Amino acid sequence: MRIRSSIFGAAVAVFIGSACLPVCGEDGVKPEEPVSIVSLEKAAEAGDAAAQARLGRIYGNGEGVPRDGYKAFYWFSKAAAQDTPDGLSGLSNCYLFGIGVEQNSEKFLYYAEKAASLGSVKAKRDLGVAYISGVEGVEVDREKGMQFLKAAAETGDPQAMEIYGVSLAILPTAPGESAVENKIRGEKYILEAAKLGDLEAQRNLGILYSWGGEKDRGKSLEWLAKAARRGDFRAKDNFCRIFFLGMTVSEIALCNAEPYATNRELFEWLNEVEKGEGNILPKQSVRFSEDGKSIAPEERAIKKSTANALLSIFYSHGIGTEKDMERAKEFLERSIVSDDMLALFTAFRAINESKNLREYPGDKVIAETERILLLMLYRNKENEMDQDEIVSWLAQFYMALLIKRGGAWAEEMAFTFVSRMNDENPIKCRLLGVCYSDGYGVECDKAKAREYWQRGIEKNDYEAMSLLGISYFNDGDKESALKLLNEAAMHGNDQGKSYLEKIDKLSKEKPRE
C-alpha cells in the first residue's frame, strides 16, 4: 500500500500562524530588564510614553499579571495621545479585536495607518494582513495590503518578510504579474526569514517545498525538522505526513529519517500527533473564508487513526523505541475505530506484510476493515467519486486477503469489486488480469489475463508489465519475458527486478546429470 495525499487530511483554510495580529506587540522588541508594575505605573502616570505602551502590552498579553483589556486600552490610549508608534499600534489592535473597547474597524485603520506613517513595522504588518484578508470588517484591498507588507518586509523584519513572502507565493496574481515569478520572489523572502530564525517561516518554507514533489522533498523535510525541533506542532505533523507519503509498510518497517531526524524524534513526533497535542490554530490567527481569500499554503494533517496505525508499526518493529507487541496491538486496535480508510489499510497491510508477527490481532482488524469499508460504500452511494475510491480499496483488500488466506468466498468478492472499479484506474486492468490468470471468481483464461495486462501497460502500469513478463516466462517465451521484465525494472518496478534476479540465478545453476 502506498500512502496517498488525497486521503491524508483536509487543507486548513487559515493563514499558517503568521497572519496573527498580536494584541500588544512592539516593533523590534528586545529582552527587557525586569521591572515592577508599581514602578512602571509611576513612570506611566508621570507621562512616560514608553512605560505607558509597555503597560498596555503587559496587561493586553497577561505578562505576569491577569489579562485586563480595559487597562490595556487605557494605557495604549495614553501612549497614543503622545503619538508614539507603539502606543498607536497597540491602540489600533484594541479597536480591531474589541479589547477594552467596542470593536471599530475604522478606528483600527486610522490608528494603524498613523502608526505606520511614523515608522511602525508592526502596524504596516497588521495593515497588510488586514487589507489582504478583509478581517473584521476591513474591505479587501490586495494592492494596498501588499504595499504595506512589502514596506514592512524591506525593513528586514523576519515576521514581515515571512508574511509578505507567503502572500506573494500564494495569492492570485494581479494584472501584469507572473505567478511563477511571484512564487520565486516569495520563496526568497520566506527563506531569508527562515535563516533569521523565524519559526513560522521555517515551517511554511517546509510546506511550500513539499509542493515541489520529490525534487524538493529533502528541502521540505529539512526545514520542517528545524521547526519541529523548536516545538512547532504543525511542523511535526507535516514532517510525519511528508516523510511517510508513498511508503509501503515494509519500507516503514525499515524506517530511517536521517539526516533530517532520528527515529526517536520521529517516534516522539508521531506520539504528539496521535495525542493531538499543540495549539493548532493560534488564538488570534486571522481566519479566511473559502472564496479564494486564503493566503495559506495547503496544509494537510495526519489523522489520529493513521498516526495510531503508524505507531503500531513502530512498536512492533522497535523503531525509535523498545519493541513492545502489547503496545503494538493497542495502537493497531485504536486505528480501526474510525472511517479513515488509510488507517484501516495501514493496519491491514501491517498484518499482511508481517507474517512473522503472529501476536497482531489479525482477525479483528481484517473483520473491522471489511465492515467499515462496506459500510462506507453504502453511505456514499450517491457520490460517484467517493464510490470509485472505496471500490478500489475493497478490490485491493480482497485481493490481499486472497494472498493471505485464500477461499472461494474471498475470490468471488475480489472479482466482484475489481470488476466494479473505474475503467480509468490502471490497477483495474492489472487485478482483472490476476483474476483471470489464477481463476479468482471466474474461469481461468490465460489469453484474457494477458489482454488485461496489456491494457494496463498502455496505461503505464509497470506492475502489469511485470506480470505479463512472468506469464510469458512460465510459458517458455524467454525473449518476450526478458524484454518486458527489463523495461519494468528500468522504471523501478520491484517485482520486475526480483524476477530478473530469479531468472539470472536459475541460469547460473548447473543442470543435474
SS3 call for 442: coil
Least confident of 84-98, 369-383, 468-482: 369-383
> CA 475, CA 455: separation in Å to the nearest integer?
20
For residues 59 and 290, the model is more confident at 59
| Half-sphere exposure at residue 356, Cβ-oriented, CA atoms within 13 angstroms | 4
CB burial class (10 A; 0-12, 13-18, 19+) of residue 84?
Answer: buried
DSSP codes of every residue in 192-250: HHHHTT-HHHHHHHHHHHHTTGGGGHHHHHHHHHHHHHTT-HHHHHHHHHHHHTT--HH
SS3 call for 180: helix
Q: Which of 303, 358, 359 is nearest to 335 (CA)?
A: 303
Mean pLDDT of 403-429: 82
Q: Does the CA dihedral 121-31-72-55 come out positive or negative?
A: negative
For residues 51 and 169, the model is more confident at 51
Across the chain, mean pLDDT equals 78
Which amino acid type is present at position 374?
L
User: Which stretch, 26-30, 155-159, 254-258, 299-303, has highest mean pLDDT?
Assistant: 155-159
Beta bridge partners of 406: none
**What residue spans of 323-361 are helical by DSSP H?**
325-335, 341-352
DSSP codes of every residue in 32-67: -----HHHHHHHHHTT-HHHHHHHHHHHHHTSSS--
For residues 288 and 215, the model is more confident at 215
Say yes or no to pLDDT of 22 above 50: no
Is residue 327 a contact partner of residue 315, using CB atoms and an 8 Å limit?
Answer: yes
pLDDT tens track for 76-120: 999 999 999 999 999 999 998 889 999 999 999 999 999 999 999
What's residue 364's pLDDT? 65
> CA 64, CA 474: separation in Å to the nearest integer?
78
> CA 498, CA 495: separation in Å to the nearest integer?
5
What's residue 362's pLDDT? 58
Verify cis geometry, omega within 30 degrees of 0, for the bond prior to 66: no
SS3 call for 14: strand
Mean pLDDT of 386-391: 76
Return the biggest CA–CA distance within the chain.
Answer: 110
pLDDT tens track for 497-513: 888 888 877 776 655 44
What's residue 506's pLDDT? 74
What's residue 309's pLDDT? 79
Q: How many residues does the chain have?
A: 513
Say yes or no to pLDDT of 298 above 60: no
What's residue 397's pLDDT? 76
Q: What is the DSSP letter of 172?
A: P
For residues 24 and 235, the model is more confident at 235
Is residue 351 a contact partner of residue 360, using CB atoms and an 8 Å limit?
Answer: yes
Confidence of residue 404 (pLDDT cuts 50, 70, 90): low
What's residue 382's pLDDT? 65
What's residue 447's pLDDT? 92
3-state SS of 126-157 is HHHHHHHHCHHHCCCCHHHHHHHHHHHHCCCC
Least confident of 359-363, 402-406, 442-446, 486-490: 359-363
CB burial class (10 A; 0-12, 13-18, 19+) of residue 421?
Answer: buried
For residues 225 and 327, the model is more confident at 225
Say yes or no to pLDDT of 433 above 50: yes
Say yes or no to pLDDT of 13 above 50: no
What's residue 401's pLDDT? 74
Read off the pTM: 0.61
Mean pLDDT of 263-282: 74
